[in-house]
Chains A and B, each alone.
Chain A
């Protein structure tokens, strides 16, 4: 049944009494779609503006209030073969967008200042070895100060704010030495300029800010790109609930369903909200909740959970408040505990800062003392010490890790892995044990025909085409096998029994054994669907099947030296064949979420770094407890929120690619940190000895930054 979707919940007021809505659009394949989509919507009466953002696949539509029923927009898109989904930008995404704009503005200002100051500095440097007059040099220095000081005050804010925050919390991050270096360099240059000195370091300070801002802006842009895709996918997944308004049924977004609402759930639909069944009988598939693949019988009074798949009958549901059920309650409690117990992993960059900052600051102090002892003036001693700070200013060090992160997360994005947290790469690289969930993780999220090879291909094709006429989940699984996706005409569905149609003059039946007049199978695992036509009959097993490349991927993971285990909430009989096929010796079935998390905790106590790969609601606590976690895009919402990375598609190889890329990225990050350290080892003695001029500082800084950036590009392979 199709019910108009009520978009009014998503419409926001715009200027001049107009309303607007943002839609995530599915099905965009090429640039020509831009015009097609915009024109399809623009011709609707009342539409003021329709603009598609091709980069993030979102359509912004504005219309005069009252002149258009917004559901017509979705219809117009559907007529042209696109699916539109109302979209509410997540708060985190909006904040990130604001942050990105701020960073870009800072980068622009720093870039402008760096170029102009460099223009003046190069003139001074070449003048210093030829015939520049002291007056001209002073003029150039003052002009540099005039550009650099306001620019640094503006563009340095992200660093100064972060450094101040950390210092007040009694901690140290990379922004502390950066801010210190910039402020000291500018201050010293100002004093030197006032004293008509030969050297000023305005260019070094502002160039440092520019390089770092370029790195951060790129890092941010990459994260925004992946996040936009992730939230589009969330919008595409967001389902609507059929809510009763009196006797009428209106499709409303799941987000607006309240406790006490009455909902209608048709066969083949997912349950949109937790609730108690008021009327109707059915069987539901709760594999997304518990991992159990056996269908559960549902009668009035039973509790059902959001995410379960309704199979045969129509149900009326009274929605209850979220977390009102026993399973969810238990999971929520476990989840809270796991999240609070999660130890904070020290990131590579923070570890580097912890070594770097004291060493550099101590050597600057020693330089001052050393020169004073050696009989230099206070002024000279301090100037040399500040030169040490400038030359060691952690430009390369601060770029070493973000540069790799940008390149590696871009490579993963292309391989269908979306990173959710910034330090996920480092933790993925640490993993030495992988725990898989079975249902929906090792197996495909939807059931498939398990015995396609044993059934007569001609019969299977007929059965699959007949299945196109039914909404029953088993029939849908079978219909996926149909090569010619044309339903038979005059197919009749008999609710609860099956479908029948006349093919080539004889009646074909698809459904229960009794309906088809076939002897029932005694097979226990999975579900059976029967087909009979012109004397021939087939028993088709519908079951969870492994992802197409699961076997190769698991073998490759084992070859990497990872310890593999399966922990499933499904029955032991269902887990064993999967474990045997994949050759995984350590496995357990019939586990509750509490037992799963206990095993993860036990492995952690043994000192293992556990990567948990799971999709079910029952996996959410273990995902949160594990060192790092992955989940397929089909996972339950609560579960996906816990995962450090999400992978798309039916294939299992993204898990392997994620680990290989992460390990490579960690290697490159370490290399980069070493490169930066070696650079400092070479540069510091020069600075301590007082040989560093602004020209040398500029060359050294640009050189080392380029080196780590070029090295980071290797993370793409």
Chain B
């Protein structure tokens, strides 16, 4: 079971990447306008 010594930290590391990605998105205001994003994707004049 020695494989666990590095697999468990690896799994945790991947989880942490996800967590930091979420916190980064939160800080960048990605969640402030949830309804608008759905419409912006449809307009092509917005570069």
Residues of chain B at interface, number, CB under 8 A: 26
User: Per a CB cutoff under 8 Å, which of B18, B31, B42, B45 touches A39?
Assistant: B45
Cβ-defined contact, B39 with A116, below 8 A: no
Stretch at the interface among A29-37, A186-194, A568-576: A29-37
> How many residues in A have their beta carbons less than 8 Å from beta carbons of B?
28
Q: How far is the CB of B11 from chain A (nearest CB, A)?
A: 7
A112 interfacial by beta-carbon distance below 8 Å: yes
Instruction: Name B45's closest neighbour in chain A (CB-CB).
Output: A35
Q: Which of A53, A115, A136 has the most CB of B within 10 A?
A: A53
Interface membership of chain A positions 109-134, coded 1 if the CB is closer than 8 angstroms to chain B and 0 otherwise: 10010011001100000000000010
Chain B residue at minimum C-beta to C-beta distance from A52: B36
CB within 8 Å of A: which B17-47 residues: 18-19, 22-23, 26, 31-36, 38-40, 42-43, 45-46
* Docked CA distance A139–B33 (Å): 43
* Chain B residues, Cβ within 8 Å of A112: 15-16, 18-19
In the complex where A34-B43, A39-B45, A133-B1 touch, is A54 in contact with B36 (Cβ < 8 A)?
yes
How far is B36's CA from A53's CA once the two chains are assembled, in angstroms?
7
Taking a contact as CB atoms closer than 8 A, the residue among A55, A105, A133 that contacts B36 in the complex is: A55
Q: Are A119 and B11 in contact (CB under 8 A)?
A: yes
Q: Name the one of B1, B8, B45 contacting A143, with C-beta atoms under 8 angstroms.
A: B8
Q: B23 contacts A34, CB within 8 Å? A: no
Within 8 Å by CB of B40, from A34, A109, A133, A140, lies: A34
Q: Which residues of A contact B5 (CB under 8 A)?
A: 139
Given A34-B39, A39-B45, A105-B26: A54 in contact with B15 (beta carbons within 8 A): no
A334 CB–B CB distance under 8 Å: no
Number of A-B contacts (CB under 8 A): 62
Whole-angstrom distance between the Cβ of B20 and the nearest chain A Cβ? 10
Q: Which residues of A contact B11 (CB under 8 A)?
A: 116, 119
Known: A105-B23, A108-B26, A136-B1. A32 touches B34 (CB 8 A): no
A296 and B19 alpha carbons, distance in the complex (Å): 65
In angstroms, Cα B46 to Cα A120, docked, is 46
Interface of A is mostly: helix
| B34 near A55: Cβ-Cβ < 8 Å | yes
Q: For A133, what are the chain B residues with a Cβ–Cβ distance below 8 Å?
A: 1
Tell yes or no: A101 within 8 A of B by CB.
Answer: yes
A55 and B37 alpha carbons, distance in the complex (Å): 9
Most buried by B among A54, A115, A119: A54
* Residue of A whose beta carbon sits closest to that of B43: A35
Given A108-B19, A115-B15, A120-B8: A53 touches B32 (CB 8 Å cut-off): yes
Which residues on the A side are within 8 Å of B38 (C-beta)?
A: 31
Inter-subunit contact B32/A108 (CB<8 Å): no
Please tell me if A553 contacts chain B, counting CB pairs below 8 Å: no
For chain A residues 34-64, which have a beta carbon within 8 Å of chain B? 34-35, 38-39, 52-56
Which among B1, B33, B45, B46 has the greatest number of chain A C-beta atoms within 10 A? Answer: B33
The distance in angstroms between the C-alpha atoms of A133 and B1, with both chains bound, is: 9
Given A53-B32, A105-B26, verify A32-B43 contact (CB < 8 Å): yes
Cα–Cα, bound, A15→B12 (Å):
39
CA distance A115 to B39 in the complex (A): 33
How many Å from the CB of A588 to the closest CB on chain B?
47
A354 to B22, CA, bound (A): 38
Query: Are B42 and A101 neighbours in the complex by a CB distance under 8 Å?
Result: no
A382 beta carbon closer than 8 Å to chain B: no
C-alpha gap A34/B33 in the complex (Å)? 12
B26 touches which one: A35, A104, A143 (CB < 8 A)?
Answer: A104
B44 to chain A, nearest CB (A): 9
Q: With both chains docked as a complex, state the minimum distance between the C-beta of B13 and any C-beta of chain A, in angstroms.
A: 11
Complex: A53 Cα to B5 Cα, angstroms:
47
Closest to B38 in A: A31
Per-residue CB contact flags for chain A residues 53-96 toward chain B (1 = under 8 Å, else 0) read 11110000000000000000000000000000000000000000
A119: which B residues are within 8 A, CB to CB?
11
Checking B4, B22, B42 against A108 with a beta-carbon cut-off of 8 angstroms, the contacting residue is B22
Known: A39-B45, A108-B19. A31 touches B39 (CB 8 A): yes
How far apart are the CA atoms of A59 and B10 in the complex, in Å? 44
The verdict on A136 contacting B4 (CB below 8 Å), with A105-B23, A105-B26, A109-B19 known, is yes
Q: What residue in chain B is nearest A146 (Cβ atoms)?
A: B12
CA of A39 to CA of B38, assembled, Å = 18
Chain B: minimal CB distance from A157 (Å)? 16
Residues on A with C-beta less than 8 A from B39 are 30-32, 34, 54
Q: In the complex, what residues of A have CB within 8 A of residue B36's CB? A: 31, 34, 52-55
B32, B36, B40 interface centre (most CB from chain A within 10 Å):
B36
Q: Is A147 an interface residue (CB 8 A)?
A: yes
Query: Is the Cβ of A101 less than 8 Å from the Cβ of B45?
Result: no
Q: Which residue of A lies closest to B44 (CB)?
A: A35
How far does the alpha carbon of A143 sit from the alpha carbon of B15 in the complex, in Å?
14
List residues of chain A with CB within 8 A of the CB of B40: 31, 34
The residue on B at minimum CB distance from A30 is: B39
Cβ-closest chain A residue relative to B1: A136
Distance between Cα atoms of A590 and B38 in the complex (Å):
54
Given known contacts A35-B43, A112-B15, A55 and B23 CB-to-CB distance under 8 angstroms: no
Nearest-CB distance from B30 to chain A (Å)?
Answer: 11
Decide: A54 and B33 in contact? CB cutoff 8 A. Answer: yes
Measured CB to CB, the nearest residue on chain B to A147 is: B12
CB contacts (< 8 Å) of A55 on chain B: these are 32-36
Q: Give the residues in chain B near A136, CB-CB below 8 Å.
A: 1, 4
Note all chain B residues with C-beta closer than 8 A to A32.
Answer: 39, 43
Complexed CA–CA distance, A369 and B22 (Å): 47
Q: Could you say which residues of chain A place their CB within 8 Å of the CB of B32?
A: 53, 55
Shortest CB-to-CB span from B38 to chain A, Å, is 7
> In the complex, which residue of chain B has the Cβ closest to the Cβ of A31?
B39
Q: How far is the CB of A286 from chain B (nearest CB, A)?
A: 41
A395 to B40, CA, bound (A): 39
A161 to B43 alpha-carbon distance, docked (Å): 46
Q: Could you list 11 examples of A-B contacts with CB < 8 Å?
A: A31-B42, A31-B43, A32-B43, A35-B45, A39-B45, A54-B39, A56-B33, A105-B23, A108-B23, A112-B15, A139-B5
B positions within 8 Å CB-CB of A: 1, 4-5, 8, 11-12, 15-16, 18-19, 22-23, 26, 31-36, 38-40, 42-43, 45-46
A-B CB proximity, top 5 nearest: A31-B39, A54-B36, A112-B19, A53-B33, A35-B43
Given A32-B43, A112-B15, A143-B12, 15 new contacts (CB under 8 A): A31-B36, A32-B39, A35-B45, A39-B45, A52-B36, A54-B33, A55-B34, A104-B31, A108-B26, A109-B19, A112-B16, A112-B18, A133-B1, A139-B4, A139-B8
